[in-house]
Structure 1
Amino acid sequence: MVKKDEDLKKRSKIILGFIVILIVLVVAIIGGNLFIESKMKTALQENLSKSEFEYNNLNASILERSASLNKAVYRKSGLQITAEEIELEGIDILVYLSSKKIEISTLKLVKPEVTIYTQAQQEKKKDSSKNGNSTKLDMLIKSVEIANGSFKMAKNDSVKNQLFASIPSLTMKDVSADQESFKNGLPFNYEQLQMASDSLFFNLNDQHDLFVEKIKIDGSSLTFNKINIKPLYDKQEFQQHIPYEKDRFDLSIEELALNSFKWNLKNDSLSLLSENMKIANGDIKIYRDKRVKDDTRQKPMYSRMIRELPIRLKLDTIRVKNLAIQYEELVKAKRGAGKVTFKNLDASIYNITNMEMSKKDFPRTDIDVETQFMGEANLNVNWNFDISNKADAFTISGQMDRISSEGINEFLKPALNVKTEGGIRDMRFNFAGNSQNSTGEMKLIYDNFKVEVLREDGEEKNKLLSALANLIVNNEATSAEKEQKNIKTKRTQTKSFWNYLWKNIRNGALKSFL
């Protein structure tokens, strides 16, 4: 009997001990949860003390090493980020307690909305010298996942968006932020990025908007699908919204893809690099009304434009496939617009870069183009220049086969009030120059070439002026090859490179006809 009592007491002690241990564990878990919640709140307060960070509830679990925030809002200097829920998984609380470093396995943001107000950002830059940033943060997140997010940028909260993007999914791997990263334009680093956007809108200027149907980033590849630039006004009204001559663009591109793509933002300087870029299936329509006041500003050459870009650029190879370009120019309303077209345009472009321009082996930019001019003449062009050359030296050569008078007149008749008969069987040109002057040579074969100067209505021939014009056009050697050397052209500084090329070709043609 005594032995049974002793066994009972031992069992009671074991049970009691188990209950006590269980109670202690429960208390520890509850206390641990409260402790973690307190520490998480402290961490948020310490790391975001200079910002306006709000949330409804913070829940933490010591067993799952996780935490969540509901209805989170972060505001700072024109930047606002809201999210329905923020979930943190795999929190290493021991690392935080020992070193104040935050390590998280996964950060999930549900329906985040990022908004940047540029007006406030500009005001922040003006006052940045007065306010130092003493925020100390050392953080590593192995995976960041965003679901159903959006990004927008506007001058302020009462005007039209300058930029809007819908982002159904975004994933970043090995995201880190510390004092060094905060010195850069992008305040964190990451190893891998995957993103899908199903719509993007960007207000290019007061006359045009840009739309992109889909954007996809997968590691080192970036793809845009169905790019459109649309004018805000029709051709007539467009002229009421520009201060001087300006091109009206209507553009669509099926695909633009960059492979081996890298980018970084350091000291407010953006760098874009890609080994291979592809542009496929595009249609570009350009319209210019010459009745509007001239734009008398100096027009830089393309080499200078790239050299002075506000971003650092390095594109090794660009392939253009199946592009169509139409340029219309209106000189007189009664005559309608003159038209120049390029169809089935394919091009290879090498070495577009403004990085390391001081090195001795800086690469030359080469451009090779094949296209159909006015829908009937095969045209090949080879063009090269050195972006680092401040004189903007270039060479350009080309060959065009047979084109009829109908093709020539599609531009000459409306634009210059001139009509031709006969056609060009072959044309070859080679010019070299800089931003000031050029010289070159040209070979031309033409058949029974005659000129008719039209009256103001663009239809009836002006017989007197046509007779005078044909006196200076040489129609004797109808099948002979005319070769002209030392063709000199002075560039008009207020006109584009394409006007410069046109003047070179025109000067060579006139020497051949005389």
Structure 2
Amino acid sequence: MKKRSKIILGFIVILFVLVLAIIGGNLFIENKIEVALEESLEKAEFEYENLNASILGRSASLSKAVFKKNGIQIYAEEIELDGIDILAYLSNKKIQISSLKLIKPEVTIYTEAQKEKKKDSSKNGDSTKLDLLIKSVEVANASFKMAKNDSVKNQLFASIPSLNMQDVSADKESLKNGFPFNYEQLQMASDSLFFNLNTQHDLFVGNIKMDSGSLTFSKINIKPLYGKQEFQQHIPYEKDRFDLSIEKLVLNSFSWNLKNDSLSLLSEKVKIANGDIKIYRDKRVKDDTRQKPMYSKMIRELPIKLKLDTIKVKDLAIQYEELIKAKRGAGKVTFKNLDASIYNITNMGISKKDFPRTDIDVQTQFMGEANLNVNWNFDISNRADVFTISGQMDRISSEGINEFLKPALNVKSEGGIRDMRFNFTGNSQRSTGDMKLIYDDFKVEVLQEDGEEKNKFLSALANLIVNNEATSAEKEQKNIKTQRTQTKSFWNYLWKNIRNGALKSFI
């Protein structure tokens, strides 16, 4: 055989062996991946349509993969892995991957099955061994939903067009935490979110964006499931019916952590802009006699750890309606163009000596005409729930006052208030303070039950009691004492303080 022919034949043999080695290697790698999947997902249902692996490209892909375990179901149209460190896995079972891409994953969690899983896991310890590092994770066109089971309405649904993470790692220690892996960077965009808050309200969010330490929510809506009248048929006692919309909520310098089932949320600056909140309460429904905590206690005892350094509220509108008798309609209180600065909302480091005081400054327009400024502070770490609240309101007409007084208390006023200033200090039990009131020819009329016609006898009696010595009176009251009703909210407490001061001024 000629030398040239021998070289060609040798080349063909080497090429043939190399091809066989590559094919064999690919088959070997595919087999190893299959074995690894079977070992890792021993107690789960896992199916896929195709598995392809390339030893030269150090890549693998799965198509139409379905994972089911303990009420968790994950489907992915395509799973692509690139830059697989084959030697690291073969030598010490370390999983190191340059990039993982999930295309159209659909994640579903059934909470009833999850409860059963917790019961089982308390009996059987988890001996999972894992050492995983993925440099880059990309998720495209994902969806996430949560429900009690597959035959009821979703409790939660989110559409996530894109999600990217860098340096994702997991090991035996991370699996013990509520969040089973760690990451260095996270970018995420959602174009819709739905959450069933309770049996009376749903939450909708138009867009969510998380990027470079900021988290932005756009077009937030809380919608009642029933109209004002039907709502009362679905509550066991007095409850507020909320109809809320907020254009934007932004958390800057945002971070979060989930460790040992404890969630922590931190942000240096929160912005809330362009909101409209409507609250309706029917007082004809039986009272909720449970004790109501002060806001400081509510924050202190939150099930999550919270640290919000500064919250800025811009252009908020609040309307509160209260129905006492159907014939008179609902009394209404409104706050428009509300701006607020809130500092130090936190329940972290409660035992520190230098624990920061919470300060709240509010500027708003009361009943569409009176400028109202309020300064409020409290110490979340203080178990007595000590607080101080002061405010100043300028001129308000009788028409503005009567929007609430007439339907709620069956009383109609004449004249108006030119200026009101108050300052109260208290705790969860009682408060004291002072109040200054300047009013013009203030008179009251007690109405008949229909809320329209004047009750002349009671009106005359009321005006004998009300002190109207001058058309323009200035009254300053000291040592106004108020006992808090423990089954009522802080706002009822504040109202009682102001009411007691007003009564001392008028009588």
TM-score by length of 2: 0.99
Given that residues 48 and 135 in structure 1 are in contact (C-alpha distance below 8 angstroms), is that contact kept between their aligned partners in structure 2? no
* 2:494 match: secondary structure: helix
Q: Which amino acid aligns with 2:154?
A: N
Matching residue within 487, 504, 507 for 2:497: 504
1:438 correspondence with 2:434: no
State which of 222, 235, 244 in structure 2 corresponds to 1:251: 244
Aligned counterpart in structure 2 of residue 370 of structure 1, from 343, 363, 383 = 363
> Which deviates the most, 328-337 or 17-26?
17-26
**1:174–1:191: 8 Å Cα contact kept in structure 2?**
yes
Matches within 5 A, 1:23-422: 23-422=16-415
Please report how far the alpha carbon of residue 478 of structure 1 lies from its aligned counterpart in structure 2 after TM superposition.
3.4
Answer whether contact 1:118 1:155 (CA < 8 A) is retained. Answer: yes
SS in 1 for 2:368: coil
Residue 135 of structure 2 aligns with an amino acid whose one-letter code is: K
Secondary structure (helix, strand or coil) at the match of 2:238 reads coil
**Contact 1:381–1:396 (Cα < 8 Å) also in 2:** yes
In 2, Cα distance between equivalents of 1:360 and 1:123: 44
Give yes or no for contact 1:184–1:268 (8 Å, CA) kept in 2.
yes
Deviation, 1:133, is 1.2
- 4+ runs of 1 displaced by more than 4 Å? none
C-alpha contact (below 8 Å) 1:245/1:288 kept by paired residues: yes
Amino acid at match of 1:151: F
Letter in 2 for 1:260: S
Offset from partner CA, 1:138-185 (integer Å, 9 cap, x none): 111111111111000001111100000011111111111101110100
**AA aligned opposite 2:118:** K
Q: What amino acid is aligned across from residue 344 of structure 1 in structure 2?
A: N
Residues 1:483 and 2:476 aligned together: yes
Partner of 1:129: helix, strand, or coil?
helix
CA deviations on 1:184-207 (whole Å, 9 max, x unpaired) are: 001111111111111111000111
Q: CA deviation at 1:50?
A: 2.8
Task: For 2:344 and 2:20, locate their aligned partners in 1 and report how far apart those are by CA, in whole Å.
Answer: 67
Quote the residue 1:462 is aligned against. 455
Distance 2:444 2:66 in 1: 72
Structure 1 length-normalised TM? 0.97
Shift of 1:413: 0.2
| Distance in 1 (alpha carbons) for counterparts of 2:11 and 2:168 | 44
Report the identity percentage: 87
**C-alpha distance after superposition, 1:260-306 (max 9, x if no partner):** 11111111111111111111000000000111111111111111111
1:74-107 per-residue CA deviation (whole Å, 9 max, x = no partner) reads: 1221111111111111111011112210111111
Deviations 1:284-340 (A, max 9, x none): 000001111111111111111111111111111110000000000011111110000
Q: Secondary structure at the match of 2:271?
A: strand
Residue identity matched to 1:453: V
CA distance in 2, matches of 1:451, 1:226: 44
One-letter amino acid of the counterpart of residue 310, structure 2: T
Partners in 1 of 2:119 and 2:375 — Cα distance?
A: 47
Greater mean deviation of Cα atoms: 10-19 or 63-72:
10-19
Distance in 1 separating the partners of 2:437 and 2:500: 12
SS at match of 1:439: strand
**RMSD over aligned Cα, in angstroms?**
1.0
Q: In 1, Cα distance between the equivalents of 2:448 and 2:378?
A: 42
Map of 1:5 onto structure 2:
none
Q: What SS does structure 1 have at the residue aligned with 2:392?
A: strand
Deviations 1:28-51 (A, max 9, x none): 111111111111112212222232
The DSSP-based 3-state class of the residue aligned with 1:287 is strand
Q: Which moved more, 1:218-227 or 1:336-345?
A: 218-227
Q: Where does structure 1 lack aligned partners over 5 or more consecutive residues?
A: 1-7
Aligned length: 507
Alpha-carbon distance, 1:481 to partner:
2.4
Note the alpha carbon deviations across 1:191-233, whole angstroms, 9 max, x for none. 1111111111100011110111111111211111100111111
- After superposition, what is the alpha-carbon deviation per residue over 1:1-52, rounded to whole angstroms, capped at 9, x for unaligned? xxxxxxx732222222212221121111111111111111122122222322
Rounded to whole Å, the distance in 2 between the matches of 1:122 and 1:388 is: 34
1:261 aligned partner, one-letter code: F
- Aligned counterparts of 1:411 and 1:121: Cα–Cα separation in 2: 49
Q: CA deviation at 1:480?
A: 3.8
